């Protein structure tokens, strides 16, 4: 099923994300985790694309397994480190497997700055996917602004270019204060960006994640969130429980405010996905 058709129903949707392994020996365990999450019957599941594209086969394989277990997959695809030939090879494979949803991304610029010359921005990839077949295309958006953008206004203008190139919905970068999203929605709607916006929610369940988030410039951490990390950061079990509760509260507030699309960055953790899903059993069906 196309995700745009799912979203058009106007009902709350809960979806989960998994990421492929870097090496073949981990493929089986990642696939097992993905299928356990698929057993929770989410609206759809996304599979990320390894930076550089070296593990693209795993993305396609895992997305395919998810589909064979009755859940709609969303395959991510990045372009900045790829040639057109590589991108079109992946598109053909997705078509062959009947995968019709793609999250089209630029990808991060590698630390050594070495990129291919075929693509500079996600909007170019979106236009190409649109021309290559009947795909439903999603893109990324950044309620706090993308780290490289000069300001939020320019970033929103570039989001508009992605929508004009043919993207059907957008998924947000994680955020920990819902007011940031509400403000962003106001701004993008004002600029005529009317595609569905899926809120990306990260349940922060361990100290490694906290360190990573703190190192990401620009992610605002509300004092309520910081207090949880201060109090429970050194106690893994308590941090996990509190992180899941925080994410669940964020989701309930979003749905109460008619943000219907909720995507959980579930990080290959079926137990985290299950706890969130169970806590929302009467809210998202
Ligand atoms: P773009 O939309 O191309 O934007 C990149 C930057 O360029 C922005 O600052 C934008 O404002 C600017 N820009 C865009 N167009 C122009 C223009 N015409 N002129 C000047 N500036 C311009 N990474 C992965 O490697 N694999 C994944 O699976 C993955 N999944 C993700 C999923 C989500 C929901 C999100 C939010 C991010 C994901 N990322 C992933 C990370 C993403 O690749 C990075 O954030 C990357 O730096 C930007 O990708 P983009 O598609 O948003 O880029």
- Residue 224 resides in a domain: no
Q: Is 140 in the pocket of ligand 1 (CB under 6 A)?
A: yes
CA of 67 to the centre of ligand 1 (A): 26
Running DSSP on this structure, what letter comes out for residue 254? H
Nearest one of 1, 5, 51, 14 to 198, comparing CA atoms: 14
Confirm whether 242 is domain-assigned.
no
Supply the pLDDT for residue 207: 82
- The reported pLDDT for the residue numbered 208 is 86
Rounded Cα distance between 195 and 166, Å, is: 10
- In our burial notation (b when 16+ CB lie closer than 10 A, e otherwise), range 123-147 reads bbbbbbbbeeeebbbbbbbbbbbbe
Domain-located, residue 279: no
Report how far apart the first and last C-alpha atoms of the chain are (Å, whole number).
17
Q: At 214, is the pLDDT very low, low, confident or very high (cuts 50, 70, 90)?
A: confident
The answer to the question of residue 269 being in a domain is no
Over the stretch 166-190, which tens digit does the pLDDT of each residue have? 999 999 999 999 999 999 999 999 9
> Is this structure's pTM higher than 0.85?
yes
Range of the domain at 91: 3-198
Kindly report the number of other CB atoms within 10 A of residue 268's CB atom. 21
For residues 76 and 48, the answer to whether their CB atoms sit within 8 Å is yes
Domain count, the chain: 1
Residue at 247 is within a domain: no
Contact 72, 3 (CB under 8 A): yes
Mutating to test ligand 1, I would choose from 79, 81, 158, 262 the residue with most ligand atoms within 8 A of its C-beta, which is 158
- Report if residue 123 sits inside a domain: yes
For the Cβ of 146 lying below 6 angstroms from any atom of ligand 1, the answer is yes
Q: Give, for ligand 1, the residue of 146, 153, 212 to mutate: max count of ligand atoms closer than 8 Å to Cβ.
A: 146
In a domain, 102, yes or no: yes
Q: What is residue 63's predicted lDDT score, i.e. its pLDDT?
A: 98
**pLDDT confidence of residue 51:** 83
* Residue 128 placed within a domain: yes
CATH of the domain at 145: 3.20.20.220
Q: What percent of the chain has pLDDT over 90?
A: 92
Q: Select from 139, 153, 138, 15 the least CA-distant residue to 72.
A: 15
């Amino acid at each position: 099923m196309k995700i745009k058709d799912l979203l058009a129903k106007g009902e709350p949707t809960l979806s989960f994300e998994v990421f492929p392994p870097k090496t073949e020996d981990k493929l089986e365990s990642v696939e097992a985790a993905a299928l356990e999450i698929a057993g929770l019957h989410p609206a759809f599941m996304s599979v990320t694309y390894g930076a550089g594209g070296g593990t693209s086969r795993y993305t396609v394989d895992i997305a395919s397994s998810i589909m064979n277990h009755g859940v709609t997959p969303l395959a991510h695809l990045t372009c900045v480190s790829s040639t057109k030939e590589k991108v079109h090879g992946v598109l053909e494979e997705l078509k062959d497997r009947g995968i019709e949803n793609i999250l089209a991304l630029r990808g991060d610029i590698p630390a050594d700055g070495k990129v291919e010359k075929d693509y500079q921005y996600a909007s170019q990839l979106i236009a190409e996917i649109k021309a290559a077949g009947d795909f439903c295309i999603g893109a990324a958006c950044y309620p706090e602004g993308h780290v490289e953008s000069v300001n939020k206004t320019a970033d929103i203008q570039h989001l508009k270019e992605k929508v004009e190139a043919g993207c059907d919905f957008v998924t947000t970068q994680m955020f920990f204060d819902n007011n940031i999203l509400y403000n962003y929605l106001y701004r993008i709607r004002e600029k005529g960006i009317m595609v569905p916006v899926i809120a990306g929610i990260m349940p922060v369940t361990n100290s490694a994640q906290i360190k990573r988030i703190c190192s990401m410039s620009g992610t605002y951490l509300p004092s309520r969130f910081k207090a949880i990390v201060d109090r429970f950061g050194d106690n893994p079990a308590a941090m996990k429980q509190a992180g899941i509760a925080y994410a669940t509260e964020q989701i309930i507030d979003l749905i109460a405010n008619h943000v219907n699309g909720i995507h959980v960055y579930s990080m290959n953790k079926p137990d985290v996905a299950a706890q969130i899903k169970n806590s929302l059993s009467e809210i998202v069906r």
